[in-house]
Structure 1
Amino acid sequence: MEIHLLGAVELFARESSVRLRSDRERCLLASLALDLGRSIGQDELVDRLWGDDPPDDPLANLYTHVSRLRRVLREAAERDGTRPVPAVRVRAHAYRLEADPEIVDWHRYIRLSAEARAAAGTDPRTLALFEEADGLWTGEALAGLPGNWAQSARVAMAERRMSTLHAGLALRMRLGQFEEVAAEAAELAGRHPLNETLVRHHVVALYASGRHADALDVFQQARRLFRERLGSEPGESLSRAHTLILRRAPLTDLVPGLPAPSPPPAVAAPVPRNLPRRHQLVGREGELGRLLSAERATGYSGSVITIEAISGMAGVGKSELALHAAYRLGERFPDGQVLVDLRAHSVTLPPLTAEAGLGALLRAFGIPPSAIPQGLQERTALWRAVLTGKRAVIVLDDAQNSEQVAPLLPDDSASLVLITSRNRLTELPSARPMFVDVLPLDDAIGLFRRIVGPERATDTDKIAEIVNRCALLPLAVEIVASRFKARPSWDLGHLLERLSRRPGRLLEIRDGLREVAAAFEMSYNALTAPQRAAFRRLSLLPGTDFGPYAAAAIVGEPLDRTERLIEDLLNCHLLQEPRPNRYRFHDLLAEYAAHLAVLEESAAERGAAVLRLTEYALRASDRADRLLRPHRSRPALPVPAPASHVAVPGWADAAAARDWLADELECLLAVEWRTRQEGNARKAAWLAHVLAEFADSEGYWPEGVEMHRAAADHWHRVGDPRAESRALLDLAAIHSRASRYTDATQAAEPALTLARASGDDTVAAEALNQLGVLRWYVGEYDAALKILGDSLRLRGEDMWGRSRTLNNVAITCLHMGDHRNALKTFTESLSGLRELGDRRLEARLLSNIGDLRRRAGKIASAHSAFVEALALSAGEGSDIDRAVIRMNIGTTLRIPEEFDSAVELHTSSLAVFRRYGDRKYETSALNALGAVYSAAGHHAEATIHHEGALRQARELGIGDDEAAALRGLGIASGALGQYARARRCLEEAATLALNIRSPEEEALACDALAQLLLGQGNPDEAREIWQRALALFEPFNDTAAERIRKSMIEIDRTGPSCRKKEA
C-alpha cells in the first residue's frame, strides 16, 4: 500500500488506485498521513475539511468520513498484504493515523533528503539520494485539494522541497556540474523569481560555465525585480556573489573547494546619465589617453575606486576634458555617467557643501529628495551603499578643496571619479593628480583655424601671436575666434591690434582673470549695448542654469528680444547651452560678467534686476500653483503687480503647469535662497509659501524646512502674526509628511495661537485641522475628534476646507468603529468635493469609503470603490496617493487564489512609500504585506514584515499600526507553533487597541486570540474572548459577527455536557 501526497492525493494497493469518494475524504487522508503518528483534535480536523463553511453537525459528518476512511484503509491493506495494517485511532477527541512511514511518499521523501544532507560533501553517490528523493514528486503537493489548510500545507511542503533542492544544487556545483545547474536553476527561478538562493545558484553557475555576460544580466534582472516587487536591493549573499563576479574572483570564492579560472567581467545595463553637451576637443590627446586608461593604470579590481584629480588654471579646459572622458568611458562604466557642479567659483551661489553635493549625487541616481537623510554621515553611508558593486563615472566639477570632495567618494565600488579643480587636491592620497596646462601652441592655432575657417586664417605667425595674447587658453581662443568670424571686415592685423590694447578697467581683477582679460574685453566691447547689458545681468541669476523666462526677467527685456540676445551670446561663445532651452556661463565668464556688473551697474540697478527675477518667480509659481490647486487658501496680501518686462509662461492646463513646476523647482528654490541672502526676506517668505505645497508633494522636505523656518522668523521679526502662522503651518505640514509628529505639533500649536490672536479664522481652522490629524496619527482619537470639530466650526463657507476636515473626521470615526457617522461624514465630504471638481481629493475620499466597506466585511463593494479611486487618481493624484489606493486594493484580494497579485500591489506601494520617506504609510504597507503572507501560509515571511512594522510604529508612536503589527505577529507565531509568544502578542494588541479606543483592532485581536486558545484546547476561555469580540464587531461587521456566533455555538454543542461520546 502507498499513500501519495506529492502530487494528487491518492491511495494505491497492488499498484492500482483505490477510489476515494470526495475531496473531504482526500483531505482527511492527507491530514492524517501528513501528521502521521500525531493526534489531531477533532475541531482542527473540522476546520481542515470545511474551513469557514462547516455543515450543521460537523462532528457527525467528521465521524462518517473517519469511518469510511477506516474501511478503505483496511480493504486496501487486505488487497496487497500490507503489515502492519494502517489504522485510525481516536483518543481524547483527537484522531491519529498509525502506519509504517515508508508507505507515505512524503515521509519517505523526508528520510531520503535527510540522508542526502547528512552524507559527506562531494561524494557523487550522495547525488543519487537527492535525485531519488525529488523523483517522488509527481506534481504540486496535495494537487487539486481545496481549502485554506491544504494551501497552507502545500506551501510548507514546497518550502521543504525548495530547501532540499538548494542543498542538491550546491552539491552539484561542488561536483562541477555547472551547465546542468544553470539549466535547472533557470527553470526553478522562473517559477520562483524572488528566491534569492535560486538566483544565486543561477548566476554563479552561468559564471562558472563561462557565460559571464549572462550571469550579470540575470543579476540585473533580479535586482530590478526585487526593487519593483519588494522595494529593496538583493540580499547580502546574492550581492556578494555579484561583486565577486565583477572583481573576476576565482570560483573558489563562490564555490568553496573548487579551483577555477575567473572569467572577465561583463557590462550591465546603463542607468543614470546627466552629462551636459560636449564640444569638440582640440588637442589633449595625452591627457585624454591617460584618463581613458585610468582603470588599468591603477591595477583596477571590482571594488577599487579610481580617482583622477584634474587641476589647472581657469579656462584651460578641465571640465571639457573630464566630460569627454566620461562620454568615452560610458561602455566600460555602464552603471551611470553623472556630473555634479560643486560651484567652487559660482558668482551667485555658495560652493556646495559636502551634504548638498551628496544630495545632488543621490538624486542623480534616482533617490528622491524625501528619501535622502539630512546628516552628512547618513548621506555618505547611503551614497556608498548606492554605489556598492556598481561601475559608474562620477564627474565632480569645480571642486573647492579636499574637505568638500572626500565624503563624495564611493567605497567598495568599481567606479571612476574625475575631479576638476583650480587647486591641487593634495590631501586626497588615493587620487592621481593630473595638471592640465595651457594648450600647446600648435593646438591653439588649430583651434583658431577650425572656428574661423582656412580662408581668413592664413598667416600662421599672426595667429600664433593672437593665441599667445589669449594665454593659450581654449576658452579665450574660442571667444576671440568667434568674434573675428563674426566681423568679416576685420583682418588678422586688426584683431591683433585690438587684443594689444590694455584692459585698463580690469586691472583690479584677480590674477586668474587677468590672463584672459584682453580676450574677454575685446569680445565684450564688440557687443551691442543690449547684448552687453544682457551679458552682465545674466551673471546675477542663481542656480546652475536658467531658462528664457527667468533670463527675460533679470535682463529687463521682453521675452522675444531676450531670446535673440541669448542666441547672440551663444554665437559669440559667451554662453553655453547644456540642454535644449537651458543656458549657463562658463564659471570664468560668469565671474568676468559679474565683475562687469559691479563696475558698470549701480547697486540699485543690480537690486532692481534681482527684484524683477523674484517677482517673476513669485508670479509664475503662483499662477502655476493656482492651476494645480485652485481651492488652496492664499495669503491675505496679494502677489505684487508685475514689473515691466516680466513675462510669465502660460499653460493650457494643470498638467502643463505641473510639468513646468517640476522642471523649474530647483531653480525656484535657488531664487528663494538668493532673495533671502540679498536681504529681501519678505519676498523670499512669500515665495516660500507659494512653493510650499508643490515642494512638499515632490519630497523637497529638507529645503522646505529651511525656507519655512526662515519665513516664520522673518514674519515674527516684522510683527505679522497672520503671515507667521501660515509659515508655521507650512513647516508643520512638512514635519508631518516626514513622520516627525512632535516637530509638527510644535509648529502647528503656535500657528493656532497666532491665528486666534489675530482673528484669522481661516488659518486657525487649518491649524486645528493639522493638529487633529496629528492626534489621529498617534491614536488619540477622542482628542482628534474634538479638535477637528473645532476646525469645522471655523470653516464657514470654505467648502474646500470644510470637505477636507470632514474627510479627516470621518477617518477618525472609522478608526473608532463608528461606521455610521463615518459613512455619513464621508458622503457629505464627497458631495462638496464633487461640486468643486477636485478630483485629486475625491479619489482620496473614495479610497477612504472603500476602506470603510472593507472593514465592514463588504469586500466586493470595497474593491469597486478602490478601483474607481485609482482611475480618478491616475491624472490628478500623487505617487503616494496612488500607492495608498493600490495597497488598499491588495487588501480586497482573495488569498491564496490571488496571492501573487496581492504581493505585487503591496510591494510596489511599499517601494513608493520608502522612496518618498513616508514612514507612516510604509508601516501600514509592512503590516498589509505581512497579513497577505500569513493568509497564504508563509508565516516566517509574515513575521519579518510585522516585526518591521512594529519597530516603526513604536518609533513613530502610531498606536493603531502598533496594535495591527502585534496582532499579525501573534497570528504568525501561533501558526509556527510559538504559542506563548502568540498569546502574549495578541493580548498586548487587544489591550493597546482598548487603550487607544480602536474597537475594530481590538475585535480583530480578540478574534485571533480566541482562535489560538481554541486550537490549544481551551474552548471555555476562547468562548469568553469571542464574546468580547462579538460585542465589538456587531455594530459594524455583520460577516465577522455571524462567523463568531457560529464558533460560539459550536463550542456550546461540544461542551462538557455534550461531549459524552467520542466519534
Structure 2
Amino acid sequence: MAENNVEFGAELRRRRETAGLSQVVLARHVHCGKSWISRLEKGRGMASPDLVQRLDEVLEAGGALMALAPEERPRSTFIGLPAVTDRLVGRGGELAKIGVFVQGEGNPNVCVLTGPAGAGKTSLAVRAASDAAALFPDGCLYIDFRACTPGATWLAGHHALRSLLTALKVPDEEIPPGDAGLAGVYQNALRGRRVLFVFDNVGASDQIEALLPAERACRALVTSRNRLNALDRAVAVQVGALNDVDAATLFRSSGGERATGAGAAVEQIAVHCARLPLAITIAAARFRADPIWSIEEFAAELSDEQARLELLDDGERSVEAAFALSCNAIDDAERRMFGLLALHPARRIRVDGAAALAGVSVARARRLLGRLADAHLVAYETTDGVVMHDLLREFAGDRILPETAPGERDAAMLRLLDHELRLAESCGRHLDPRRHRVSMIADVPMDGFADRDNALEWIRSEWPVLVDLCHEAAARGRYSECWQLSFALRDYFFLAKLWDPWISTHRIAVECARAAGAEREAAIALNSLGIAHADRGDLSAAEAQFHQALRLFRAIGDEHGRTSALSNIAWTALYLGRSQQALRDLRTVRQAYQRLGNGRNAAITLRAIALAETELGAHPDAVEHALQARRESEMLDLSLDVAMSVNCSAWARFQSGDLDAAAADYETASSLAERCGSRYEAARAATGLGNVLAVTGRITEAAEQWARADTLHRSLEPAVIGEARIRSTIWLGDEAPGMSNGRRD
C-alpha cells in the first residue's frame, strides 16, 4: 500500500511539473489545500476517489493517475456522510482553508462554517469531509442537528451522544441508561482515534458543546447560520454569496440545456437570486421544469420584487422558509429592527440611521445589529454600517415589517428623514458656511461633523441615500422635508458637479413646493435648478428657470431672491456671449449684494465681473478684480471660491498673453482645488496649464496635463469653461477665441 502511495505521488508530481503548475495553483484548481498536495506527492496520504478524478482531469492524465491511485483501505467504522453534490461550484478558497484545518494536528480541532441561509454550508462541509476521508481511518460521522429544518425540533445533545456512541461501536452495557455520564463515555471512546465529525445545522453552541472531541487527532466541522461566538477557539470559515462568475455557472449547470448558452440573462438571474446557491438552484429547477419560459422571460419574472420570493419556491425548497427559520432565532426587538431596516432606501445602512429608524440609542442599535449579524440577517460592511442583500430585504419588507403597525412605520420613516436631514444640513454648512440659507432647519449645529473634511467624507458616501430619501419624502407627502433635503444636497452637488441627481432632486422640490403653495421654496428650487442646467451647458433651460424664479421672488417681495435670480440671468448672458449686458447687470447685482450684507455673493459676483471684463479685452481690470475676489473669499474662509478666483485670474492672464503668470496661477489653483475637494476646479486648472504649455510648443507636456484633467473630471463644458474651449481648438490647430468661465451662486 505504501509503495502504491509513493508511485502515485511521484507520478502526480511529474505531471504537475510538466504542466507548469505550482502546488498552490494545482490545489486551487482541485479545491484542496496546498499541504495536502505536498503530502500526496510524498506518498504520505491517500486521496479520495473524487479528488483523484479531479487531479487526473486537471493534469490531463487520461486516467493514468486514477489507475495508480491505491484502493481505499478497509475500515472498521463506516463513512456516514451524505452524498456529495455534483453541483458545488466555486468555493476553492473555502475548501482550501478547510483542507488546511482537517490536515492539521492538535488544537483547534473545531471549524465552524457560518453564513446566511442558502449559502451552501452543508454541501461545502460534506464535500470537504469527503475529500479528507482518507485521513481519518476511524471514520467520518455526520449528524444533522435540524436547527434549519422547517417544522423540525432541534436535536438535543444527549440524543446526538447516543447516536455517536452507537456509531463508534461502544458496547450497550457501557452506555449509561440516563443522560449523566454519556459525555464521559463518548470522550473515552475517542481516545487514540482519528475521527472526522460533521455537525450540521447547529442552532446554538450548547447543542454540541458536549460533543466536541477532546481527542486532539479528531476534527469537527460545524455548520450554522449563527456565528456560535461561544466556540471562541474554533477556526471560522465565512460562507457567503458566490461571485458573479460562479453564480452564473451554477445556474447554467443546474438549469438544463436551455440555460447553457445564455449570457446576460443568466447573470441577471444570479443577481436577482443574491448569488445564493439555494436560490439559484431553486430558480434553475423552476426554469428547467417549465419549457414555456425563455431565459430572458424568466429573468424578467425574477426582476419583479413583489413576486420573487414566491418564484423561489419549487414545492420542496423555499428561500422564504429558510429565511423564516433564521428569524425564529432572534428576539422581538431584533425582529422589529430587522423589519424596519427594509424601510431604509439604501443597501448599506449606517448604525446611526438604523438607530433613528428604531427610535433607540446608537449603542442599542449597535447591539441589535450585532445580533442580526450573528444570525446572518445583515452583514457588517464597515464598523459603522451593515448591508442586507436584496432577497433578505424583500423578505424583511414582505414578511417581517407588516408585524409593525402602520403608524409606527410612518413614525420610523419620519425619524430617519429628520435624522438624515439634520446631518445633510450640518454637512452643507461645513461645505459652504456663508451661503444664504432660507427654508432650512434653523437649529442645526455645526458639530454634526468634526470639520469640513469629515463632512465631505460623509456626504461622498451618503448622497445617494439622501437622494432616495428626498424622493421618498415626496411620495409620502412630506413636502418640506423633500425640499429641505434637496437644498441641503445642493452644496455638495455643486462641488462634485453631480448634475443628474442635482436636477432630479430640485425638480421634485419644485413640484412639492408648488403642491404645498410655498412660492418662496419653489423660487429657490427653480433658481438652484437653473444653476445645475447652466453648469452643464444647457443655457436655454437655465435661463427659463431663472426667469420663473425671478417672477416668483418679485411676487412675494423677496429682495435677496430677486437679486440672486438677476445675478444668475447675468451669468447666463455672459455664457451666451452678451458680455456688455452681463457686465452692466453684474455691477448692479454686486451693489445690491453689498447693500444686503451678503459678502459671499458679492465676492462671487466680482469674479463674474472679472470674467466679463476678460471677454471684453479689459485684461488688467479683469486680473485686478479676480485678485480682489480671491481676497474677499479668503476673508470669508470660502476655500472653493478662493480656488475658483485663482482659476479666474489665470484665465484672464492667459487671455492677455501673460503665460508665465497664467501658469503660476493655474498651479496655485490646482493645489487649492485639491485641498478643498474640488476635482472639477482641479481639472479646469490642469486643462488651463495644458493650454499654456501647448501654445508655447510643449505639446507632450500639454498632453500630460490634459490627460490628468480627464482623469479628474471628463465633463468640462466648453459653453461655460473657457479652458475646455481653448483646449479643443488648440488640439485642432485653430486659433481660439476668448470664452467666459466659472460661476457660482
Q: TM-score range by the shorter chain?
A: 0.5 to 0.7
Q: CA deviation at 1:652?
A: 2.8
Q: CA deviation at 1:637?
A: 4.2
Q: Is 1:797 aligned with 2:597? A: yes
Q: Determine the structure 2 residue equivalent to 1:653.
A: 451
Cα deviation code 1:662-710 (max 9, x no counterpart): 1112222222222223332321221111112312433432222222111
- RMSD over aligned CA atoms reads 4.3
Counterpart residue type for residue 601 of structure 2: G
Deviates more, 1:547-556 or 1:631-640: 631-640
Counterpart residue type for residue 204 of structure 2: F
Residue aligned with 2:434, SS: coil
Query: CA distance change for structure 1 residues 783 and 531 in 2, over 3 Å: closer, same or farther?
Result: same
Q: Does the aligned pair in 1 maintain the 2:615–2:739 contact within 8 Å? A: no
In the alignment, the residues of structure 1 paired with residue 451 and residue 624 of structure 2 have an alpha-carbon distance, to the nearest angstrom, of: 34
Residue aligned with 1:837, SS: coil
Q: Does the aligned pair in 2 maintain the 1:621–1:690 contact within 8 Å? A: yes
Q: Does the aligned pair in 1 maintain the 2:719–2:725 contact within 8 Å? A: no
In the alignment, the residues of structure 2 paired with residue 857 and residue 441 of structure 1 have an alpha-carbon distance, to the nearest angstrom, of: 71
In the alignment, the residues of structure 1 paired with residue 455 and residue 89 of structure 2 have an alpha-carbon distance, to the nearest angstrom, of: 36
Superposition TM-score, scaled by structure 1 size = 0.41
Q: 1:484 aligns with which of 184, 201, 204?
A: 204
In the alignment, the residues of structure 1 paired with residue 323 and residue 454 of structure 2 have an alpha-carbon distance, to the nearest angstrom, of: 40
Q: 1:721 aligns with which of 498, 516, 519?
A: 519
Q: 2:726 aligns with which of 910, 913, 927?
A: 927
Q: Determine the structure 2 residue equivalent to 1:860.
A: 660
Counterpart residue type for residue 871 of structure 1: S
Q: 1:612 aligns with which of 415, 421, 424?
A: 415
Q: Determine the structure 2 residue equivalent to 1:808.
A: 608
Q: CA deviation at 1:615?
A: 1.1
Query: CA distance change for structure 1 residues 537 and 586 in 2, over 3 Å: closer, same or farther?
Result: same
Q: Determine the structure 2 residue equivalent to 1:753.
A: 551
In the alignment, the residues of structure 2 paired with residue 596 and residue 548 of structure 1 have an alpha-carbon distance, to the nearest angstrom, of: 23
Query: CA distance change for structure 1 residues 595 and 490 in 2, over 3 Å: closer, same or farther?
Result: farther
Counterpart residue type for residue 671 of structure 1: L
In the alignment, the residues of structure 2 paired with residue 808 and residue 545 of structure 1 have an alpha-carbon distance, to the nearest angstrom, of: 41
Q: Determine the structure 1 residue equivalent to 2:330.
A: 527
In the alignment, the residues of structure 2 paired with residue 321 and residue 708 of structure 1 have an alpha-carbon distance, to the nearest angstrom, of: 49
The aligned length equals 485
Q: Determine the structure 1 residue equivalent to 2:638.
A: 838
In the alignment, the residues of structure 2 paired with residue 516 and residue 681 of structure 1 have an alpha-carbon distance, to the nearest angstrom, of: 38
Q: Determine the structure 1 residue equivalent to 2:12.
A: none
Equivalences for 1:216-615 in 2 at 5 Å? 443=123, 446=126, 463=145, 467=149, 481=201, 483-485=203-205, 512=312, 515=318, 520-578=323-381, 581-615=384-418
Q: CA deviation at 1:838?
A: 1.6
Q: CA deviation at 1:595?
A: 3.2
Counterpart residue type for residue 631 of structure 2: S
Q: Determine the structure 2 residue equivalent to 1:308.
A: none
Q: Determine the structure 1 residue equivalent to 2:715.
A: 916
Q: Is 1:774 aligned with 2:572? A: yes
Q: Does the aligned pair in 1 maintain the 2:340–2:401 contact within 8 Å? A: no
Q: Is 1:881 aligned with 2:681? A: yes
Cα deviation code 1:411-467 (max 9, x no counterpart): xxxxxxxxxxxxxxxxxxxxxxxxxx99999738849999xxx9xxx9957547964
Q: Determine the structure 2 residue equivalent to 1:681.
A: 479
Q: 1:942 aligns with which of 733, 737, 742?
A: 733
In the alignment, the residues of structure 2 paired with residue 490 and residue 731 of structure 1 have an alpha-carbon distance, to the nearest angstrom, of: 67
Q: Determine the structure 1 residue equivalent to 2:430.
A: 627
Cα deviation code 1:1004-1043 (max 9, x no counterpart): xxxxxxxxxxxxxxxxxxxxxxxxxxxxxxxxxxxxxxxx
Counterpart residue type for residue 123 of structure 2: D
Q: Determine the structure 2 residue equivalent to 1:141.
A: none
Query: CA distance change for structure 1 residues 487 and 832 in 2, over 3 Å: closer, same or farther?
Result: farther
Superposition TM-score, scaled by structure 2 size = 0.57
Q: CA deviation at 1:762?
A: 2.2
Q: Does the aligned pair in 1 maintain the 2:689–2:705 contact within 8 Å? A: yes
Counterpart residue type for residue 663 of structure 2: H
Counterpart residue type for residue 858 of structure 1: D
Query: CA distance change for structure 1 residues 842 and 470 in 2, over 3 Å: closer, same or farther?
Result: farther
Counterpart residue type for residue 616 of structure 2: M
Q: Determine the structure 1 residue equivalent to 2:540.
A: 742
Q: Is 1:702 aligned with 2:422? A: no
Query: CA distance change for structure 1 residues 727 and 922 in 2, over 3 Å: closer, same or farther?
Result: closer
Counterpart residue type for residue 668 of structure 2: E
Q: Does the aligned pair in 2 maintain the 1:765–1:790 contact within 8 Å? A: no
Cα deviation code 1:739-782 (max 9, x no counterpart): 11111111111111111221222222222222111111110112
In the alignment, the residues of structure 2 paired with residue 531 and residue 464 of structure 1 have an alpha-carbon distance, to the nearest angstrom, of: 23
Counterpart residue type for residue 484 of structure 1: A
Equivalences for 1:994-1013 in 2 at 5 Å? none
Counterpart residue type for residue 942 of structure 1: G
In the alignment, the residues of structure 2 paired with residue 927 and residue 809 of structure 1 have an alpha-carbon distance, to the nearest angstrom, of: 20
Q: Does the aligned pair in 1 maintain the 2:347–2:387 contact within 8 Å? A: yes
Q: Does the aligned pair in 1 maintain the 2:339–2:397 contact within 8 Å? A: yes
Query: CA distance change for structure 1 residues 779 and 912 in 2, over 3 Å: closer, same or farther?
Result: farther
Q: Does the aligned pair in 2 maintain the 1:863–1:892 contact within 8 Å? A: yes
In the alignment, the residues of structure 2 paired with residue 520 and residue 892 of structure 1 have an alpha-carbon distance, to the nearest angstrom, of: 63
Residue aligned with 2:348, SS: coil
Q: Does the aligned pair in 1 maintain the 2:426–2:449 contact within 8 Å? A: no
In the alignment, the residues of structure 1 paired with residue 361 and residue 208 of structure 2 have an alpha-carbon distance, to the nearest angstrom, of: 30
Cα deviation code 1:219-268 (max 9, x no counterpart): xxxxxxxxxxxxxxxxxxxxxxxxxxxxxxxxxxxxxxxxxxxxxxxxxx
In the alignment, the residues of structure 2 paired with residue 782 and residue 510 of structure 1 have an alpha-carbon distance, to the nearest angstrom, of: 67
In the alignment, the residues of structure 1 paired with residue 147 and residue 578 of structure 2 have an alpha-carbon distance, to the nearest angstrom, of: 81
Q: CA deviation at 1:573?
A: 1.6
Query: CA distance change for structure 1 residues 325 and 814 in 2, over 3 Å: closer, same or farther?
Result: farther
Provide the identity percentage. 21
Cα deviation code 1:965-1010 (max 9, x no counterpart): xxxxxxxxxxxxxxxxxxxxxxxxxxxxxxxxxxxxxxxxxxxxxx
Q: Does the aligned pair in 2 maintain the 1:728–1:748 contact within 8 Å? A: yes
In the alignment, the residues of structure 2 paired with residue 765 and residue 321 of structure 1 have an alpha-carbon distance, to the nearest angstrom, of: 68
Cα deviation code 1:87-142 (max 9, x no counterpart): xxxxxxxxxxxxxxxxxxxxxxxxxxxxxxxxxxxxxxxxxxxxxxxxxxxxxxxx
Residue aligned with 1:670, SS: helix
Query: CA distance change for structure 1 residues 668 and 448 in 2, over 3 Å: closer, same or farther?
Result: farther
Q: CA deviation at 1:886?
A: 2.5
In the alignment, the residues of structure 1 paired with residue 615 and residue 530 of structure 2 have an alpha-carbon distance, to the nearest angstrom, of: 23
In the alignment, the residues of structure 2 paired with residue 747 and residue 710 of structure 1 have an alpha-carbon distance, to the nearest angstrom, of: 14
In the alignment, the residues of structure 2 paired with residue 439 and residue 831 of structure 1 have an alpha-carbon distance, to the nearest angstrom, of: 61
Counterpart residue type for residue 355 of structure 2: A
Q: Does the aligned pair in 1 maintain the 2:650–2:661 contact within 8 Å? A: yes
In the alignment, the residues of structure 1 paired with residue 544 and residue 503 of structure 2 have an alpha-carbon distance, to the nearest angstrom, of: 13
Where structure 1 has 5 or more consecutive residues not aligned to the other structure, the ranges are 1-284, 294-319, 329-436, 472-477, 496-508, 643-647, 934-940, 950-958, 965-1063
In the alignment, the residues of structure 2 paired with residue 556 and residue 905 of structure 1 have an alpha-carbon distance, to the nearest angstrom, of: 51
